[in-house]
Amino acid sequence: MEHNVSLFQYEFMLRALIGALIIGLAAPALGIYLVQRRLALIGDGIGHVALTGVGAGLLFQTSPVIMAVIAATIGAIAIELIRERGRTSGDLALALLFYGGIAGGVVLVGLSDSTSANLNAYLFGALTTTSRSDLVTIAVLGAAVLIAMIALRPALFAVCHDEEYARVSGLPVRGLNLLLAITTAVTVTIAMRAVGVLLISALMVVPVATAQQVTRGFRATMAAAMVLGLFAAGAGVWLAAVADTAPGASVVVLAIASFIVVTLLAAGWRRIRRARPEPEPAPEPHEVLLGGS
């Protein structure tokens, strides 16, 4: 055990832990808005489009991360405009992103001289290979996403809860929707390094679903989801160091395990409360007087 814990004395493990904690905090802060809008799986679709950008970066020997940000942003804006105009259903637009994005990424990676290991690093994450520049990018973009989600919470909640009411209230609905789309693309891109494009949505959605089991109100759910995201990210990296497993998969497994445990405990608590006998109502004042006379 001491040997496993000492792994965090290495700089690459420390960078992995810090990167995971930043993503674990930012992803649920954004994910709660996506869940509110019933777009829980949009992260998967945008992640697959980001994979096309990765393939383009490897093919043209440019930064895969920068190309992924560009591709993911274009894909996120496109799906938002499609949804807004109502020309096709959200499910169909997501399906087009899913299949077109991953197919384009695989084709472009195949055309480049990269090995399958490079593709797997983006599909399943490669957190322990995070460099100092990667960590700076994750920190800056993660902080920007987190600040935007917290500072604009009232306006974003209004748009996600009732878009027509938000529009009548004078809020810039299109601008806020595009902001959500762009921040989703940014979050997906920085989370690629931690959990990979195939597991991105889990980190944005599962902590939110877990928090909803035990909280009431949007603000409390958001705070609880961020705490749960931090726990899953930190404990997932620790588990990966101890058990020699993939960090990204370990983070997601712990997030899902937390959801199962919290759901069972919440269901048990509700059953106990229902089984408790209701206290007898206190006698009215006139009944006390009559009984004592």
Please tell me which residue, 81 or 6, carries the higher pLDDT value: 81
Model pLDDT for residues 183-221, shown as the tens digit of each residue: 988 888 888 777 777 677 888 899 999 999 988 888 999
pLDDT band per the 50, 70, 90 thresholds, residue 94? low
The whole-angstrom separation of Cα 257 and Cα 249 is 12
Contact criterion met (CB below 8 Å) for 146 and 29:
yes
The whole-angstrom separation of Cα 128 and Cα 130 is 5
What is the chain's mean pLDDT, rounded? Answer: 81
Please tell me which residue, 155 or 281, carries the higher pLDDT value: 155
Residue 288, judged by CB atoms within 10 A of its CB (0-12, 13-18, 19+), counts as exposed
Model pLDDT for residues 59-80, shown as the tens digit of each residue: 888 877 788 888 888 888 887 7
Helix, strand and coil percent figures for the chain, each rounded to 5? 80, 0, 20
For residue 236, what is the enclosing H or E element? helix 218-243
Of 3-12, 91-100, 154-163, least confident by mean pLDDT is: 3-12
Instruction: Report the pLDDT value the prediction gives residue 288, as an integer from 0 to 100.
Output: 46
Instruction: Report the pLDDT value the prediction gives residue 292, as an integer from 0 to 100.
Output: 46
The whole-angstrom separation of Cα 277 and Cα 61 is 70
- Name the one residue in this structure whose structure tokens are 């994005």: 101
Model pLDDT for residues 128-169, shown as the tens digit of each residue: 777 787 788 888 988 999 999 999 999 999 988 888 888 888
Residue range 20-33: mean pLDDT, rounded: 91
Q: Is the pLDDT of residue 112 over 90?
A: no
Ordered DSSP codes for 42-108: HHHHHHHHHHHHHHHHHHTTS-HHHHHHHHHHHHHHHHHHHHHHTSS-HHHHHHHHHHHHHHHHHHH
Please tell me which residue, 126 or 29, carries the higher pLDDT value: 29
Please tell me which residue, 87 or 253, carries the higher pLDDT value: 253
Percent of the chain with pLDDT over 90: 21
Please tell me which residue, 277 or 220, carries the higher pLDDT value: 220
